[in-house]
Amino acid sequence: SASDSDRLEAEIERVRKGMAEGRTCSECGHLNVKKSRFCTSCGGRLGEVATAGVNPVSA
């Protein structure tokens, strides 16, 4: 329906804006300010995205 479509469009825009202006918590989906280290909603750590298959080399 039109209202479902409008809600989806609004959610897409929220996610796009969050990607540009903040950090979305992977635990609860809350949008946090860009410089946050922890989610202000659930307290989850807002870490960097790990790259699969890359292991640090120890000297």
Instruction: Map residue 52 onto helix, strand or coil.
Output: coil
Q: Looking at the whole model, is its pTM more than 0.75?
A: no
């995205």: which residue's tokens?
Answer: 49
Decide if 54 is inside a domain: no
Decide if 53 is inside a domain: no
**pLDDT, tens only, 9-52:** 998 887 777 666 788 899 998 888 888 899 999 999 997 554 44
Looking at 1-59, list the stretches that DSSP marks H as alpha helix, in order from N- to C-terminal side. 2-21
Q: What pLDDT is stored for residue 59 in this prediction?
A: 61
- 45 φ, ψ to 5°? -75, 135
Domain assignment of residue 23, given as a range: 1-46
Which tokens sit at 3? 């209202």
Decide if 57 is inside a domain: no
Decide if 58 is inside a domain: no
Decide if 55 is inside a domain: no
Say how many domains are in the chain.
1
Cβ atoms of 7 and 14 within 8 Å: the answer is no
